Structure 1
């Protein structure tokens, strides 16, 4: 709009005979007949009029009229100096030796390169590709150099099928994932699921969001497995290994039922802790359970010790009984002596029942009392007994 406004103002100035900003006015008589900055016999001075046709004439510095304006104006606007107007250079596409243009060949070359680029595909050793013909799945391409119809007839989507992908549940480290165990306790579990693509066509076209499906299947399998496990088993290494194996098998069965095209490689439990709200009470319970286990182990050890001693005594008695059956009197007398020796060796009193027997001094008790400078008492049986 500004261009047309300025164009209208210049037309009105030219028709009104007023002085132009490029030179004198176009009216007859007065100072307007003589270009600005000129004298008789001198060449005109001042800026050149852009509305006049280009050339070396001095008339280029006179005031324009309406015919000059429309004569120098093309269908797309005023012609610029040095452009495509008369006397100006015209731009042309480079020509071939025969005089024909290179433009058609350039277009054909660009189209050919595009067709080749969208028809030849190099698929890596760990990759596969699905081909869609006019938007519909047609086939799967294996690793290697493959050729298809150009775009947009066939489109190729390359995917890494051997690479291991992992998902962490829950996603953030600060989030808690509380799961109910088989003994009605809550445990905070965080785990990692590793998987890759088993069937690329099913992975691409059977389900809407394969990654979200893997997450949901993993969470459902973990909850089902932990619900069949006791709380203590979730904290032990052997119990965790059993849970991980069970979750992997459950996930694989579920995803195969969906035909998701996913292979579950493994499940790893990173953390199994009690809920943060009851962690102190849970630690107290653990300490009490450890003390109870220690007491039970101690009782079992004592019981085993007593049992072993009793078994040893029973075996010794069986051997003595065998000897007793061979010589009852001798065995009885031997048992009596061994018993009295064992009993009397642990007492401080000595009883002498035989008459006219002088006790052998010092006896053990007398000797101990002599060392403490205390008198010893010897008890003898009365005579005649």
Structure 2
């Protein structure tokens, strides 16, 4: 093994303790004593981790051992080398056109054209309208149903709304909503407001929050309408209809004064009941009122019957009086006979008055004998006292 060198450039048999791979003080290696001789440096394999690491000849740089810092140290003017690229990192470039120009201007123009097309053409449906504003603030014009063109965003902004859709706002649903009536009673009431947009420009620009304004106007109108009626009117069906009509008219008047651009289609009362704290007493009051109404209805029915009977009797008397004025004697006799017939119809005794004698004519007995002669019949009647 004499004369052989290890891969790191040191003699295989040397005992030099230097660890710089060529700068040690061993005397067996020519030119290593630092005496300034112009002898060539030792040849042999270079450190693979250093620049030019496999070349063993032609280099007059001193060889040294590997250092961990050398692995991460920049080994060129443009930084460390990376896998897959030359010195200075990967050299990535945008593909060029066949003529040698760049694709970037064409891509930029295409993106700009798509952006202008997408933000300048608007398709408004038949039941919709749109509001165009400059830079999102100043009103410019209104878009009607159809295809409309505007300046691209953000120069002009378009806000499209369905103006024919019936919208609903529920008030008092799921929560207690107590309202004072005209007779100082409390009623828990919930209702539904149906509305749509009448003027889109006013709806967008006149009020800060149109929906909240609608709720407040509805509550104010309902409280005013309920305060004009007593509790019975609010709870009854006819009274409820009256309250709904008044609330709608009052709401429309207030919203038109605000220029809210809202059209109130109708108000529907969903629930009218007493507060939970007094519900038992309220039910008792309702039961008593129902009993009163039933008694009043019976009295009115009896009154109508008596009135009809009296009117019939009065009409009959007037008819008889008109006949009496035409023939007094005939009418007088007729009235007498009809009266006696009505009196004697249900009696079984008949008395005939003659001069000096008052005979008794047993008509019931004669009638019984007549029926007995016609056939056997069973007749049950009151017993006649003797001597009659």
Q: Structure 1: any 5+ residue segments left out of the alignment?
A: 1-23, 31-40, 381-385
Which whole-Å CA distance do the structure 1 matches of 2:147 and 2:54 have between them?
Answer: 70
Query: TM-score w.r.t. structure 1 length?
Result: 0.74
Q: Tell whether 2:164 aligns with 1:162.
A: yes
Aligned to 2:81: 79
Which whole-Å CA distance do the structure 1 matches of 2:273 and 2:167 have between them?
Answer: 26
Query: TM-score w.r.t. structure 2 length?
Result: 0.73
RMSD of the alignment, in Å?
3.7
Number of aligned residue pairs: 335
* Cα shift at 1:191: 0.9
* Cα shift at 1:352: 6.5
Which whole-Å CA distance do the structure 2 matches of 1:273 and 1:283 have between them?
Answer: 10
Secondary structure of 2:179's counterpart equals: strand
Deviations 1:16-40 (A, max 9, x none): xxxxxxxx9655468xxxxxxxxxx
The 8 Å contact of residues 351 and 379 in structure 1, kept in 2 or not, is answered as no
Aligned to 2:180: 180
The 8 Å contact of residues 351 and 360 in structure 2, kept in 1 or not, is answered as no
2:384 corresponds to which of 349, 353, 376: 376
- Distance change (3 Å), C-alpha of 1:56 and 1:270: farther
- Aligned counterparts, 1:291-302, within 5 A: 291-302=291-302
* Cα shift at 1:254: 0.9
Which whole-Å CA distance do the structure 2 matches of 1:308 and 1:379 have between them?
Answer: 48
Secondary structure of 1:78's counterpart equals: coil
Q: Structure 2: any 5+ residue segments left out of the alignment?
A: 1-17, 25-42, 57-63, 369-378
* Cα shift at 1:283: 2.5
Which protein is richer in helix relative to its size? 1
Which whole-Å CA distance do the structure 2 matches of 1:289 and 1:280 have between them?
Answer: 14
* Cα shift at 1:70: 5.3
Deviations 1:329-374 (A, max 9, x none): 4433433333233234456776666534442343899xxxx837x7
- Aligned counterparts, 1:210-221, within 5 A: 210-221=210-221
- Distance change (3 Å), C-alpha of 1:63 and 1:238: same
Q: Tell whether 2:368 aligns with 1:360.
A: no
- Distance change (3 Å), C-alpha of 1:357 and 1:151: closer
Which whole-Å CA distance do the structure 1 matches of 2:269 and 2:122 have between them?
Answer: 41
Which whole-Å CA distance do the structure 1 matches of 2:121 and 2:326 have between them?
Answer: 105
* Cα shift at 1:219: 0.8
The 8 Å contact of residues 45 and 54 in structure 2, kept in 1 or not, is answered as no
